[in-house]
Amino acid sequence: MLILQKICFNILYPIKLLERERFGPYGKNKQGNANQERRMKIYVGNLSYNTTDDDLKDAFEKFGTVESAVVVKDKIDGRSKGFGFVEMSSESEAKEAIDGMDGQELNGRAVKVNESKPRPEGDRGFRPPRGNFGGNRGGFGGANRGGFGGANRGGRGGDR
C-alpha cells in the first residue's frame, strides 16, 4: 500500500505543480481576460467629517461605475477620520475620476484625490511599548521610590 501511495504521489504531484504554475494557487487563470481592465482603488483625503459613503459614491459615479465607496471611521466613536476610498471598475475610469475630482469641493471642502497605494506589509502604525505608568520607577510613585506614592508617605512600596 505504501509503495502505491509513493507511486501516485510521484506521478500526480508534478502535475499539480504545473497546474498551480499555470492557474495560480486558487485555480484561476493567471492571464485572465486580456480585454478586461482591472479595478483601481482611489484615496480621497480632506473629507468633511459629515461626508457619508453615499455622498462619496454619488460624487464619483459621474466618472464611471463605482464598485465601492467607504469613508474610514474611528473604531471607538464611529466618527469619520476625514478620508476614504473609492474603488472604480476600471483603471481608465479611475484616472478620469482622479483628474476630475482632485481639488474639487465636496461637502464644503476641497478634496485631495489620488491612486491608493497598498499599505506596507506588517506596518500597523506606531505603537508605544506597553509597561507601567511610572516608567522604570515601579508605578505611580516619583523618583526611584517604587509603587503608589513612594517613601515617607506611609503608603505602599518604596524605599522605606
pLDDT digits (tens, 9 = 90+) for 76-110: 999 999 999 999 999 999 999 999 999 999 999 99
Task: Examine residue 142 and state whether it is found in any structural domain, yes or no.
Answer: no
In the chain, which residues have pLDDT < 70? 1-37, 122-160
Tell me, what's the pLDDT at 132? 54
Residue 10 confidence (pLDDT): 58
Residue 85 lies inside a defined structural domain of this protein: yes
**Res 119: pLDDT:** 77
Its pTM stands at 0.56
**Close Cβ partners of 105 (under 8 Å, ≥ 6 residues apart):** 111
Q: Is residue 136 part of a domain?
A: no
Give the CATH number for residue 97.
3.30.70.330
Domain extent at residue 53: 36-119
* 82 in any annotated domain: yes
In a domain, 128, yes or no: no
Q: How many domains does the chain have?
A: 1
Q: Are 39 and 97 in contact (CB under 8 A)?
A: no
Determine, yes or no, domain membership for 76.
yes
